[in-house]
């Protein structure tokens, strides 16, 4: 595929049910290699700190029969004071009327996650490793998104 210079770099990719999540420094794409179809997702919320690339996860929700992309991003970060404001938003593919925009989660994630991280998918959950740079004492924790709720660390 030729994206005609639409981006400079590609973050780690993920896959689910034959579809490939292709996050870049400018957009997120979902590619179906079998058909050659490319879905270019609309812009999500703007990150105030572009050096901290969003972390994404890709999975399938059997309850709604849809694929979902979760995007964890920082609105602001102060590494010296170890403060941050992070959010999570979800994009749904395959559901009439709801798959055309990112929906921000009402709850703020309870922990920061590492930038440029692809969530691990396991038994219907997306799991991210917590960033140790912004939390002291360093937690031995993971952040997971399951059934549309952000749960406590495990």
User: 111 or 151: whose pLDDT is higher?
Assistant: 111
d(CA 132, CA 114): 8
> Considering only CA atoms, which of 72, 64, 87 is closest in space to residue 118?
72
End-to-end CA distance of the chain: 39
How is the chain split into domains, by residue range? Answer: 14-150
> Considering only CA atoms, which of 97, 84, 93 is closest in space to residue 134?
84
Which tokens in the block code for residue 1? 């595929």
Q: Could you please report the per-residue DSSP string of 79-123?
A: TTTTEEEEEEEEEEESSTTTTTSEEE-SSPPSS-B-TTPBPEEET
Instruction: Please check the confidence at residue 154 and state whether its pLDDT lies above 70.
Output: no
- The pLDDT of residue 35: 94
pTM greater than 0.85: no
Which pLDDT band, with edges at 50, 70 and 90, does 20 fall under? very high
Average confidence score pLDDT of the chain? 78
**Tens of pLDDT, residues 130-140:** 887 887 777 77
**Tens of pLDDT, residues 32-69:** 999 999 998 887 776 555 555 678 899 888 888 888 89
Instruction: Please check the confidence at residue 4 and state whether its pLDDT lies above 90.
Output: no
Instruction: Please check the confidence at residue 151 and state whether its pLDDT lies above 80.
Output: no
**Tens of pLDDT, residues 65-104:** 888 898 888 888 887 888 888 888 889 887 665 557 788 8
């Amino acid at each position: 595929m030729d994206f005609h210079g639409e981006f400079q770099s590609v973050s780690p990719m993920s896959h689910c049910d034959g579809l490939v999540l292709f996050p870049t420094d400018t957009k997120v794409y979902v590619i179906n290699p079998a058909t050659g179809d490319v879905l270019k997702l609309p812009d999500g919320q703007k990150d105030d700190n572009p050096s901290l690339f969003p972390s994404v996860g890709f999975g399938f929700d059997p309850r709604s029969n849809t694929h979902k992309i979760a995007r964890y991003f920082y609105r602001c970060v102060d590494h010296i004071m170890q403060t941050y404001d992070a959010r999570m938003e979800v994009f749904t593919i395959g559901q009439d009327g709801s798959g055309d925009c990112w929906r921000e989660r009402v709850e703020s994630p309870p922990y920061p996650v590492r930038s440029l991280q692809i969530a691990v998918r396991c038994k219907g959950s997306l799991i991210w490793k917590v960033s140790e740079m912004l939390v002291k004492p360093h937690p031995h924790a993971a952040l997971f998104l399951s059934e549309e709720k952000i749960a406590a660390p495990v």
